[in-house]
Amino acid sequence: MTGKVRSLGSLRNRLALTLIGGAAVLAVLLYFVVRSYAVQIAQQGQDSILRASVTSILDAAVLRDGQLEVDFPYASLAMLGTDSDDRVFYAIYQDDVLVSGYDGLPVAASDSGMVTVTFDGVEVRTTTASRLLAGAQSRTRVTVTVAQTQDLLAVTLSAISRNIALFGAGFFVLVMLLAVLATSSAIGPLARLTTSVARRGPQDLRPVVSPVPSEMVPLVSSLNTLMARLGQSLNRSEDFIAEAAHRVRTPLATVRSHAETTLQRVDREENRQALRSMIRAIDESSRAAGQLLDHAMITFRADHLDQQDIPLAALVENLIMRLGPVADMRDVEFRTALDPDVTLKGDPILLHNALRNVVDNALKYAPRESVIEIDITANPPCVVIRDHGPGFPVDQISNLSDRFTRGRNAEGIIGSGLGLTIAQEVATAHGGQMTLGTHSKGGACVTFSF
Ligand SMILES: Nc1ncnc2c1ncn2[C@@H]1O[C@H](COP(=O)(O)OP(=O)(O)OP(=O)(O)O)[C@@H](O)[C@H]1O
Ligand SMILES: [Mg+2]
C-alpha cells in the first residue's frame, strides 16, 4: 500500500522566489538610497557655489562717505552659469531697502542656510548673507540674496536616476541568474538521491553510500536504517517460510507413502476414491510447499546475486537430462537449437530453477506426444521455450506471473501458481525480462532476454 504523499509545494521554487524577491527589494532599496545620496551631493555642489557667490558680493560692498557702494563682481554670477541655462536672481538690500536686483526675491533668514522657495513661478534654491558695514559716522547692514533655478539639477538627477535604474535592473537580472544556479545546485543532491532510490529494483535494499550534503545526512541515515530493518524483516519472513515449507514437506512425504501403501491394500472402490483424493491433496500441498521453499531461496539468492559465467547451452542440456524421465512418461520430445557460445553472468542455481519451472509448465500443460522446442540465441542472450499445447489463456496472460495466480486451463493439474513468478523474478535479478506469448503455431512461448 502506497499512501499518497501530500506536497507542500516546490522547495526549488520557494528558494528561487525568496532569493529573487529579496533581490527585487534590494534593487528597489538600492535605487532610492543611491538616488537620494546623488541628490544630496548634486545639491551640495550647487549650494556651495551659491554660498561663494553671496560671499563675493558681500565682500565687494563698502561704505564710502556714508554711502554704500558695491563694485559688483560679475564673476560671482558667472560662476553660477550652467549648461542648462539656469536663471540666476540676486537682491542687495541696505538696511532692508532694496538697492539693486530683483524686487520680491524671497529673503531667507541669514542663518537659515540654503532653502528652496518659489520665485516667479519656478522653484529656486537661495541663500542669504548679511554684513554690518561701519563708517566714520554711520553703520549700515548690507544683505545679499542670490537664487538660482534648478534646471541642471533636475537634468542631472534624471540622468543619475536612469543610470541607477539600469544598474538596479542589471543587478536584479544577475541575482536572478545566480538564484536559479544556486537553487539548482542546492536541490541537485536531493534530485540525485531521489533518482538513485527511484531507479532501484524492488528487491534492492542496499544502503545509500554516495556522499550527500550534511543537511541531508540525517534523512539518508534514517532511510538506510529503515531499509536495513526492512531487509532484516524480509529475510526473517523468507527464512520463516522456507523453514515452514521444509517442515511441512517431510511429514507430507511420509503420509503420502502410507496412503499409497494403503491404496494397494484397500479393495472397496469408495475407500480407494477417498485415498486417491487424499494423495492428490498431499501432492498439491507438497508442490505448494516445494514452490514456496524455492521462492524463498530465489528471493534470498537474488539479493546476493552470484556472478558466475554460465554457458547457457550446458545449463539447458543439464535441465533436459534431469527432466528426461518426466518427458519420457508423457512421450514428449525436446528439440533444441542451442548456440554453444552464449554465456551469461549470474547465478546458475537461479537460472536453472527459472528454466525448470517454464519447461515443467510446458510438460504439464502441453498434450502428450508433443514437442517442446528450446532455442538459445546471442546478441542479446535469449532463451526461448515453445510448446505445442493450447497456449496461455489470452485474457489472463498479463497476470499469470503474479504470485499464486493460475490460469483457468490449470484446472485438475497440480500446481501452486508460483512457477512463473519465480521465473520472472530470476530474469529481473539478472537484469533481463521474461515475456509470455503465443507462437505462430498456437502453443505457449516464453522468452527470456538478458
Ligand atoms: N506452457 C503453458 N501452456 C499453457 N498455460 C500455461 C503454460 N505455462 C503456464 N501456464 C498457465 O500459467 C499459470 C501460471 O503458471 P505457474 O507456473 O506460475 O503456476 P502453476 O504451473 O499453475 O503452478 P506451479 O507453481 O506449481 O508451477 C498456470 O496455472 C497456467 O494456467
Ligand atoms: Mg508452473
Region 147-156 average pLDDT: 87
Higher pLDDT, 68 or 239: 68
* 376 three-class SS: strand
> What are 98-145's pLDDT values in tens digits?
988 998 888 877 666 888 889 888 889 999 999 898 877 788 999 999
* pLDDT over 80 at 387, yes or no: yes
Same domain for 120 and 224? no
pLDDT score at 112:
62
Q: Helices 348-365 and 419-429 meet at what angle, rounded to 10?
A: 150
What CA–CA distances, in Å, run from 8 to 2, 11, 215, 392?
18, 8, 19, 47
Of 159, 186, 216, at which residue does a domain stop?
159
User: Which residue's alpha carbon is at the smallest distance from atom 14 of ligand 1?
Assistant: 406
Q: In which domain, by residue range, is 25 found?
A: 15-159
**pTM of the predicted structure, to 2 decimals:** 0.56
Give the number of domains in the chain: 3
Q: What is the mean pLDDT of residues 296-309?
A: 83
Ligand 2 mean position, distance from CA 420 (Å)? 6
pLDDT in tens, 342-358: 999 999 999 999 999 99
The grid coordinates listed for 152 are 541642471
**What's the confidence (pLDDT) of residue 375?**
95
Q: Is residue 174 part of a domain?
A: no
Residues 388 and 272 in one domain: no
Can you give the pLDDT at residue 7?
Answer: 84
Q: Are residues 328 and 397 in the same domain?
A: yes
**Residue with the larger pLDDT of the pair 246 and 353:** 353
Range 175-200 average pLDDT: 87
Handedness of CA 193, 194, 199, 200 (dihedral sign): positive
* Same domain flag for 155 and 29: yes
pLDDT of residue 383: 96
> Best mutation site among 400, 438, 441 for ligand 1, i.e. most ligand atoms within 8 A of its Cβ?
400
Which of 304, 336, 358 is a domain's end point? 304
Confidence band, pLDDT 50/70/90 cuts, at residue 2: low
> What is the domain-level CATH number for residue 45?
3.30.450
Residue nearest to atom 21 of ligand 1 (CA): 415
- The predicted model gives 188-208 an average pLDDT of 83
pLDDT, residue 63, reads 84
State whether 340 and 403 are in the same domain: yes
- pLDDT at residue 175, as a whole number: 86
CATH number at residue 446: 3.30.565.10
CA–CA distance from 268 to each of 45, 271, 279, 352, 427 (Å)? 129, 5, 17, 44, 50
Minimum CA distance residue for ligand 1 atom 3 = 391
Ligand nearest to the CA of 295: 1
Question: Is the residue at 9 inside a domain?
Answer: no
pLDDT of residue 5 exceeding 70: yes
Q: Got the DSSP string for 77-116? A: HHTT--TT---EEEEEEETTEEEEE-TTPPPPPTTS--EE
Does residue 406 carry a pLDDT above 90? yes
Reduced to 3 states, what is the DSSP secondary structure of residue 133? strand
- How close is the Cα of 410 to the center of ligand 2, in Å? 9
Q: Are 383 and 314 in contact (CB under 8 A)?
A: no
Do 86 and 144 belong together in one domain? yes
Distance CA 8, CA 334 (A): 60
Average pLDDT, the chain: 88
